[in-house]
Amino acid sequence: MTNPYVPLLFFLAIGGGFAIFSVAIAPLTGPKRYNRAKMDAYECGIQPSPQAEGGGRVPIKYFLTAMLFIIFDVESVFLYPFAVAFGGLGLFALVEMVLFILTVFVAYAYVWRRGGLDWD
């Protein structure tokens, strides 16, 4: 086996095939009995709350969390090659990495002070 990613594709094909098959046969195995109330959004039996077009507005906090996630996840991805090659790079890598992490910590402290990490 020359390319090590090919077995992963096999696995994806098996797992994905199973998932798609299950979802595809779901409408065929069960009964079909129409009832208008059944097709409504489920809210524990009360009248469903009216929905705005496209799902309506969502709290800004989720958006903020996603933005912060990108910043810090990119940071951790930068740390991976450094960590793997660390032994071969010498003292330079250590100094460089400490400087990088300090820079990120400044951003982190800023976000914390501005209340970006508070949920309420």
Partner 1 sequence: MTVLTALAAAEPYVPRDNPIADFSDTPWWLSLVKALLIFVYLLLSTLLVIWFERRVIGRMQQRPGPNRTGPFGLLQTLADGVKLALKEDLTPKNADKVVFILAPAFFGAMAFVSFGIIPLGPEVSLFGHRTPLQLTDVPVSVLLMLAVAGVGAYGVVLAGWSSGSTYPLLGGLRSSAQIVSYEIAMGLSLVAVFLYSGSMSTSQIVANQRDIWHIIPLVVSFVIYVITMVGETNRLPFDLAEGEGELTGGFHTEYSSLKFAMFFLAEYVNMFTVAALATTVFLGGWQAPPGIAAINDGMFNEGWWGLLWFTIKLWMFMFFFVWLRGALPRTRYDQFMHFGWKFLIPVTIVWVVAIAFLQAANNGFLGDRAVNIFGAERRLASLIVIGVLALLVLAATWIWEGRQVKRAEARAVVVPPEIDPFAGGYPVPPLPGQRLRESAGESQADSSKAVIHG
CA distances from 33 to 29, 39, 76 (A): 13, 11, 51
Please report how close the Cβ of residue 66 comes to partner 1 at its closest, in angstroms. 7
SS3 content of the chain, % helix, strand, coil (to 5): 70, 0, 30
Report CA Rg, the chain. Answer: 25
The one-character DSSP state at 115 is T
Please report how close the Cβ of residue 74 comes to partner 1 at its closest, in angstroms. 10
Please report how close the Cβ of residue 96 comes to partner 1 at its closest, in angstroms. 11
Q: In this complex, which beta carbon is closest to partner 1, that of residue 69 or of residue 110?
A: 69
Please report how close the Cβ of residue 106 comes to partner 1 at its closest, in angstroms. 12
Residue 119 — φ and ψ, nearest 5°? Answer: -85, -35
